[in-house]
């Protein structure tokens, strides 16, 4: 099994903090995306992402290369996110800080984006953390069913049926937006 992170992992295990820093740089967004997909709240997701990476750093000696490093990191991230979701506060509306350096979207574009975010967020809130996890790993990270099964340590069939259920619930919640009735 070819693991592109193998050399950095070996160095990190030997005590090279900088090597783990490179791993963290490489995978930060991946970890954040898992956390945000499950939690739906930026502050919580940022906290959990850092928590997951610190945990990975502190437990790097436990990683024996039985899977790819990325898979192991996914697992830590998922567990951290699901634990946090069980103790988290209710979802807050997504607050936007206006970054004047960035391209200013037109009011229409911004309104449309907010609408999608709101719709998807509300729909995701209807799912359990486990179902949100499957959705983010499949639809965002584009992991295969086998990779998801390995990450979550469940059967491939369970992955497929949870995904089917999650998509069905989203479709029901998103309603007209999915059926293409909304222009």
Interface region with other proteins, contact rule CB under 8 A, candidates 2-10, 25-33, 65-73, 78-86: 25-33
Site for other proteins in 110-169 (CB under 8 A): 113, 116-117, 119-121, 135-136, 139-140, 145, 155-158, 160-161, 163-164, 167
Q: Which helix (H) or strand (E) holds 114?
A: helix 107-124
Total residues found in the chain within this entry: 183
Residue number with CB closer to other proteins (29 or 59): 29
Contact between 133 and 85 under an 8 Å Cβ cutoff? The reply is no
Using CB under 8 A, which of 21, 63, 91, 130 touches other proteins?
A: 21
Rounded to an integer, what distance in angstroms lies between the CA atom of residue 163 and that of residue 166?
Answer: 5
What is the nearest approach in angstroms of other proteins to the Cβ of residue 65?
21
25 touches other proteins (CB under 8 A): yes
Using CB under 8 A, which of 14, 15, 61, 102 touches other proteins?
A: 102
Helix %, strand %, coil % for the chain, to 5? 70, 0, 30
What is the nearest approach in angstroms of other proteins to the Cβ of residue 24?
5
What is the nearest approach in angstroms of other proteins to the Cβ of residue 20?
6
Nearest alpha carbon to residue 131 among 154, 104, 97: 154
**Within a 10 A sphere around the Cβ of 23, how many other Cβ atoms?**
22
């Amino acid at each position: 099994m070819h693991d592109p992170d193998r050399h950095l992992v070996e160095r990190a295990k030997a005590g090279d903090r900088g090597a783990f820093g490179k791993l963290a740089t490489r995978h930060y967004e991946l970890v954040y995306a898992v956390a945000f997909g499950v939690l739906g709240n930026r502050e919580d997701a940022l906290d959990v992402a850092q928590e997951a990476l610190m945990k990975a750093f502190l437990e790097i000696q436990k990683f024996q290369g039985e899977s790819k490093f990325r898979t192991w990191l996914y697992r830590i991230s998922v567990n951290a996110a699901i634990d946090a979701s069980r103790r988290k506060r209710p979802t807050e509306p997504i607050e936007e800080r206006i970054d004047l350096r960035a391209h200013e979207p037109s009011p229409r574009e911004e309104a449309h984006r907010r609408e999608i975010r709101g719709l998807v967020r509300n729909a995701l809130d209807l799912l359990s953390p486990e179902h949100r996890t499957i959705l983010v790993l499949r639809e965002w990270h584009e992991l295969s069913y086998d990779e998801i099964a390995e990450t979550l340590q469940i059967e491939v069939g369970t992955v497929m049926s949870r995904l089917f259920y999650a998509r069905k619930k989203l479709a029901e919640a998103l309603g007209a937006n999915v059926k293409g009735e909304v222009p």
